[in-house]
Amino acid sequence: MPKNNIQHIEWTTRDPGRLRSFFAGIFDWQFREAMPGYTMIDGVGGIFDAPDPQMPVGVTPYVNVADLAEKERRITAAGGRIHKSKQEVPGMGWFTIFSDPDGNMLALWQPAVKPRTGGDRGSRRKTAAKKTASRKTASARTRKKTSRKK
């Protein structure tokens, strides 16, 4: 994962259908419902249906980070304000919403660590070593057969 790059843009709205139609007509973006109240825009970001009338509408860029807590400390030390701290998206990761000293909204995204598939590194190394040894043995047999024929 690239660190500290903007990786997702989110539009918070009271009328997600209107925004979806608007963007589809302009950019030919593809949409899919990710969960109730949230529409993913393939390759771009998402449209969030703001359930709380107090929640401001707007556009929020999400920045990839490895450690939300460390970035939150830096934000507050630099004069920013944390609005939502380490909110979980089950099975996907966590986000923090904050504003810079001028009031611009941004968010941080820390993805969940995905378990490795196919065993651990040690077992993959052992499997690779077995394959290499097997190839060497087969190669040696081929050389013996070839030298006998001569």
Give the model confidence (pLDDT) of 78-125 as tens digits: 999 999 999 999 999 999 999 999 999 999 999 998 877 665 555 444
Averaged pLDDT for residues 40-47: 95
Give the model confidence (pLDDT) of 48-84 as tens digits: 999 888 778 899 999 999 999 999 999 999 999 999 9
What is the Cα–Cα distance from 9 to 45, expressed in whole angstroms?
Answer: 5
Averaged pLDDT for residues 17-36: 94
pLDDT of residue 123: 47
Where do we find the tokens 């997600």?
Answer: 16
Residue 75 has which token pair?
Answer: 């934000």
CB atoms closer than 10 angstroms to residue 71 = 19
